[in-house]
Amino acid sequence: MDKSNKPFVLAVVGPTASGKTRLGAELAKEYGGEVVSADSMQIYKGMDIASAKPTKAEMQGIPHHLIGVIDRDTPFSAADYVKMAREVIADILGRGKLPVIVGGTGLYVDSLLNNVQFSEMKSDPDYREKLHALARTQGSEALYAELVRADPAAAESIHMNNTVRVVRALEVIHVTGRLFSELKAESIAEESPYDSLILGLNAADRAVLYERINHRVDEMVRAGLIEEARAVYSEGNLRTAANAIGYKELIPYFEGEMPLDECIDKIKQETRRYAKRQLTWFRRNERIRWIVADDFSKNYEILENSKKAIAKYGRV
């Protein structure tokens, strides 16, 4: 398919607290678009504060899709995301609007825009539950060690604390008898159905981004993060929520093992580490056009630089 004949979609990516939500909404407003979230935690219902779901004010009157649409403990994969996102994008395009993909989950963005092919394969719920039980009783380190032994190449591409992906990799190996890394390599994308431009938002000074992260966590606490996390904790089923930064770090506080201020500091530390991992992922993508901000308060400047990049590389 010739590039000029493909539908155009815009994407805004970057680390947490970099301002993706604001920029995505502003660009959608500027070009007559609607936002499609690409966030692996915002897609779940109820996890509003911990996942930093955009508020009504932050949405700026722009429709936002794929936020709070999946029950918290429903298994959900990148393949599921791609299927749902394609349907939403088709609807947006059908109404003559511009799809604006906004999010920090690099796996979702890459799988969608690169047209990664996901093979259909059986699952083994009992084996999966066994792995989750191992993580609960012996910790994520023990679970990750299983993946290191089974498929070192896969382990290199998955963070130890990403229990969902570690479990999925081990389950695939168990079900298929093949290495997860081999199957992933075979999913090399066919030609993408979209002509896309990816804008990446980042800070010129990493310390500025980290300070924004610390401030955001403080704001989340004031907005009711502790109460939200306690409500989820009281349900007794943390399989999905335990992977959300802002929940798992508070468990020691709920169980009387650590003071609250130390847990909040841990949330800030883990969020900074997550931002670093996001940047590592996105920097591997040479297609991203980076918008580097020396001052995140200069929203107009960030928007204008983004519009210049769109005028140069995009089709809107």
Per-residue pLDDT of the chain (316 residues; tens, 9 = 90+): 455 689 999 999 999 999 999 999 999 999 999 999 999 999 999 889 999 999 999 999 999 999 999 988 787 888 899 999 999 999 999 999 999 999 999 989 999 998 887 666 678 889 999 998 998 899 888 999 999 999 988 888 787 878 888 998 999 899 888 888 887 766 665 789 999 999 999 988 899 999 999 999 999 999 999 999 999 888 876 566 666 899 989 999 999 999 999 999 999 999 999 999 899 889 989 999 999 887 666 788 899 999 999 999 888 7
Q: Identify the CATH number of the domain defined by range 3-118+192-313.
A: 3.40.50.300
- Domain 125-186 matching CATH 3.40.50.970: the answer reads no
The pTM for the full model equals 0.82
Q: How many CB atoms lie within 10 A of CB 250?
A: 24
Mean pLDDT of the chain: 90
The pLDDT value given to residue 1: 44
Examine domains 3-118+192-313 and 125-186 and report if their fold is the same: no
Give domain limits for the chain: 3-118+192-313, 125-186
Give tens-digit pLDDT for 69-121. 998 878 788 889 999 999 999 999 999 999 999 999 998 999 999 888 766 66
